[in-house]
Amino acid sequence: MSKQVALAAQARGGSGKGEARSLRRQGRVPAIAYGTGLSSTPISVDARELYHVLHTDAGANAVIRLSVSGDTHLALAREISRHPVRRDILHVDFVTVSRDVKVTVDVPIHLTGEAPGVDEGGIVSQELHTAQIEVLPLEVPDEFTLDIGGMQIGDVKRLADLELPAGVELVDDPERPVVSIITPQLEIEPEEGAEAAEAEAEGATAEEAEDPAGDEAGGQGAGDGS
């Protein structure tokens, strides 16, 4: 389950790209906090502290004990903007929540076990990597595990096969496939396909050459009968 992690924030009065660049040069990340018990408030947080907060076992679902202007709020990090190359966090929204009201989160799905179908030439195909659920903030699971032991080629496991803790409600369709054991698809090389088509065309031409009067004979027979 998610544990609370502390993060101190400083209120900021400015706005715009100039202020944001200045904060980043100081090792801080511009952000905004809003939600339950807090109106929209521009803030900034220490970049290193934020990194550690988002790299606990809970990942982006970490429940943050956010300190803003002397008050503490439970919050989740959402709308995380990153630099396209360096992947540094450029901006983040902190959504404050109530410990007594369920929130919607995406929880990672981790596969365990070994599928016998793989030994028979099958491939494990995981179609869904997260499950969307509703749960109280302090009870968010770090991950779900799904055992694929015993799966043969053609078998499918769905969201309904996940073991959900008490109080957790699935938002996604329970029938959505999570993982299946599939047979590898054999791909025909383009050159081989072209050669086959060319050979077929040559064969048809040869048949026409062997019986060039076939159609004419049919036509003459019809004429003689008139």
Domain ranges in the chain with CATH number 2.170.120.20: 104-182
Looking at residue 140, the DSSP 8-state letter turns out to be -
The residues, ordered by sequence, that sit 6+ positions from 95 with a Cβ below 8 Å of its Cβ are 33, 34, 35, 75, 76, 78
Pairing of strands 123-126, 144-147: unpaired
Chain position carrying tokens 């109280």 = 136
Unique residue bearing structure tokens 């988002």: 54
- Say if strands 63-68 and 4-11 run parallel, antiparallel, or are unpaired: parallel
Q: How far apart are CA 174 and CA 163, in angstroms?
A: 12
Cβ-based burial of 108 (10 A; exposed 0-12, middle 13-18, buried ≥19): middle
DSSP string, 180-223: EEEPPPPPPPHHHHHHHHHHHHHHHHHHHHH-TTHHHHHHHHHH
Kindly give the residue spans of alpha helices, DSSP state H, lying in the chain.
17-25, 47-53, 116-119, 190-210, 214-224
Residue 223: pLDDT band with limits 50, 70, 90: very low
Q: What average pLDDT does the segment 154-181 reach?
A: 96
CATH class, range 104-182: mainly beta
- Look at residue 224 and tell me whether its pLDDT is greater than 70: no
pLDDT given at position 12? 87
Q: What gap in Å lies between CA 133 and CA 61, rounded to an integer? A: 12
Q: Residues of CATH 2.40.240.10 domain(s) within the chain?
A: 4-100
pTM: 0.72
pLDDT of residue 210: 52
Is residue 52's pLDDT more than 90? yes
**Superfamily of 4-100 according to CATH:** Ribosomal Protein L25; Chain P (2.40.240.10)
